[in-house]
Chain A
Amino acid sequence: MIRLEQVHKCFRSGKKDVQALVDFSMEVKPGLVYGLLGPNGAGKTTALRIIATLLKPDAGVVTVNELDARRDPGQARRHIGFLTGDTKLYDRLTPRETLRYFGSLYEMIPGELDGRIAELARMLQMDDYLDRRMGRLSTGQKQKLSIARAVIHNPAVIVLDEPTSGLDVIASRNVVEFILQSGSEGKTVLFSTHILSEAERICQDIGMIHLGRMLLEDSLSTIKAVHPGNTLEDIFLELVENHEEEPQ
């Protein structure tokens, strides 16, 4: 479970203040896949980084698995698996070394860790290259390892920031399968994207963010019922127009 309540986040870059999140609330329920949708610069990455405790909000409450992420970020991180489309891996380590390293940072005991590595290797079909240097792996192989790295500690909450960006069809299908499977295992899955059609295929819940504000948050089925015949894209554009007409 992830809950954000009235979160504010402002970046100071130079003399200008950038309001990245304004009075931002959202809730991601376990067992469902939640898609956070918005155009470039909407505040998706900022929201996800706040959940992952990489950034501290200026105001508001952030709850991850019933833990106050602001007050106890170290504890909250144990329950979160975080993956972004552009995070990379250590080229000079092998997949096994990488997974052992991250496992040890999550304080997994060696026996448990090796079992988990074997399980993930089987699940993601990584057995063939588990002991090869990362620098020599293909993009798709690296992507699988990135997924394994993010969930080495079997977290209840999985947060993915545009996880399919820059991937080819096969590699992004691996990611989508992983998202769907995690959802069906009862995990809390939150992912962000600006490709609305992708969200339409895999999400149960949708949040639409624009200029740091949550414009709409509901289940995909409800949204579709309210706007029959429209694609998510149509709905989003309509919302943005309405939002900009509102005097603020």
Chain B
Amino acid sequence: MNVSKVTAIFRKELKDMLRDRRTMISMIVIPALAIPLLIFVIASFSMSKARQAEEAEKTIAIVGIPESSLLYEAIAATGMNIARNDTLASAPNLLVLDKKLDLAVEFPPGFEGSVQEFFANRLETPPEVVLYYNESRLISEMALRTVRAVLQENRTNRTGEYLESKGLRADLLYPFHLQSNNVMPPEQQAGSQLGRIIAYIVMILMLTGSAYPALDLTVGEKERQTLETLLVTPAGRTDIVIGKFLTILVISLMATLITIISLTVTMTQAGSLMKGAGDLLSFQIGPRVIISVLVFLIPVGMFFSALLMAVGIYARTMKEGQSYSQPLFMLMILPAAMSMLPGMELSLKTIFMPVVNASLVIRELFMQNWSILPTAAAVFGLNLLMAALLLWVVYRMFHRESVLFRS
């Protein structure tokens, strides 16, 4: 290897690539514009869904108790629309399923009497109130929460009154208080929700960011018939492979840096731009996170660059290279998406899965979970090893006449 030749090749290739509009699009335009747009659309969509569900009129049915009862009135006081019982066409649970109702509250026959019997110790088990709801509908869940709160309060009040009637203190109901404190700092809470999706976005953009230069610098050069002019110079094949590899790596890391910066800006600005998005999006990514993620991603970028370079050298035409890289993308996107699944954590098993391991580490880094640094170092080493192996394959391929001069 000759450093000055590698440098000359690297500088020329970088200049050449940066003058290409397609590089600019995959490196700058998509990360800098598409990402914030995507996040705003997702955030505003989910927020407007929530607001819609909150504001929408909820229709419920109450069966088994008279309209004049206190409990009925308490539920009615929540302002929800209560369907008259004589208009119900079929069983309340079916109506909820059909989305005719958002919630159905079913009291057993003789409910009030049964409650009294239970207090008087003449009934072994208390009567059961059934709430029918549909978990897939936000509006139904909201109705459930409201009605359940009313019923719970009513239940507590009745027991309190009973205790007082026996000359006991009502607060005996609560011989101790319960308090749950979330120990996760607020920035990590936001991180855990968003870390998953961010890790995924970063990985995908890194892959797509390296795909175009990797193909252009290999099969693109072959197709444009400039490769021979380079091969006849004293630059060795090793110099050429390393010079081109470094160019691809730098471009994919630049794309990643722009992605992360764009994500950070979006996250920090979103809270103030969108009222109510605060909880979801007020997510601080400090310089420490950015630097650690970028450093960690170097071997991952090397892995992607070498992989796509191998495809590019093997392909005869740009078109062929693109169609070879499609299944490869799928192969990479799947594990990256897998890392978004709730149960996926860094473990002795996942640590050896390429792409999955890196996505999981990035997620933890975004959550500022610094305790995983030793694991991150191991994953760093593993990715470096894989990248080196692939680069060696690329190097071997670049020395094969039958690959370079395929006709």
Name A residues whose Cβ lies closer than 8 Å to a Cβ of B.
11-12, 49, 52-56, 74-75, 77-78, 80, 82, 84, 86-93, 97, 101-102, 104-107, 149-150
Contact = CB atoms under 8 A, between A and B. Distances in A.
Contacts of A80: 232
A21 B350 CA distance: 54
Given A56-B401, A101-B8, A105-B5, A74 B228 contact: no
A157 B235 CA distance: 18
Contacts of A89: 226, 229
Interface in B379-407: 401-402, 405
Interface in B207-256: 224-226, 228-236
A57 B189 CA distance: 65
B12 interface: yes
Contacts of A52: 232
Interface in B335-382: none
A87 B226 contact: yes
Contacts of A150: 229
B4 interface: yes
Contacts of A104: 4-5, 8
B20 A92 contact: yes
Contacts of A105: 5, 8-9, 230, 233-235
Contacts of B230: 105
A169 B234 CA distance: 33
Contact of A93 (B15, B228, B231, B402): B15
Given A55-B401, A82-B232, A105-B233, A92 B16 contact: yes
Given A78-B234, A93-B16, A105-B235, A12 B8 contact: no
B19 interface: yes
A2 to B, nearest CB: 14
Contacts of B236: 74
5 contacts: A49-B405, A77-B232, A86-B225, A106-B234, A107-B5
Contacts of A49: 405
Contacts of B402: 11-12
B6 to A, nearest CB: 11
A89 B12 CA distance: 13
A93 B232 contact: no
A7 to B, nearest CB: 15
Nearest to A84: B228
Given A104-B5, A106-B233, 12 more contacts: A55-B401, A74-B234, A75-B234, A77-B232, A82-B228, A90-B16, A90-B226, A93-B12, A101-B12, A104-B8, A105-B5, A105-B230
Contacts of B16: 90, 92-93
Interface string B1-27: 000110011001001100110000000
Contacts of A75: 234
Interface residues of B, number: 24
B19 A77 contact: no
Contacts of B19: 92
Given A12-B402, A90-B226, A53 B232 contact: yes
B228 A87 contact: yes
B229 A149 contact: yes
A2 B143 CA distance: 91
Contacts of B229: 82, 87, 89, 102, 149-150
A74 B236 CA distance: 7
A54 B228 contact: yes
B177 to A, nearest CB: 71
Nearest to A93: B16
B355 to A, nearest CB: 33
A80 B233 CA distance: 9
A40 to B, nearest CB: 13
Contacts of B235: 105
The 6 A-B pairs of least Cβ separation, nearest first, read: A105-B233, A82-B232, A92-B19, A104-B8, A88-B225, A101-B12
A161 B402 CA distance: 20
A192 to B, nearest CB: 15
A158 to B, nearest CB: 12
Nearest to B236: A74
Contacts of A88: 224-226
B241 to A, nearest CB: 14
B406 to A, nearest CB: 9
Contacts of A82: 228-229, 232
Contacts of B5: 104-105, 107
A84 B226 CA distance: 11
A88 B227 CA distance: 9
Contacts of B224: 88, 91
B234 A107 contact: yes
Contacts of B228: 54, 82, 84, 87
A75 B9 CA distance: 19
Interface in B10-50: 12, 15-16, 19-20
Contacts of A87: 225-226, 228-229
A53 B224 CA distance: 21
Contacts of A84: 228
Contacts of A78: 234
A96 B135 CA distance: 69
Given A12-B402, A90-B16, A101-B8, A77 B225 contact: no
A96 B231 CA distance: 20
A161 B4 CA distance: 30
A21 B244 CA distance: 33
Nearest to A82: B232
B4 A107 contact: yes
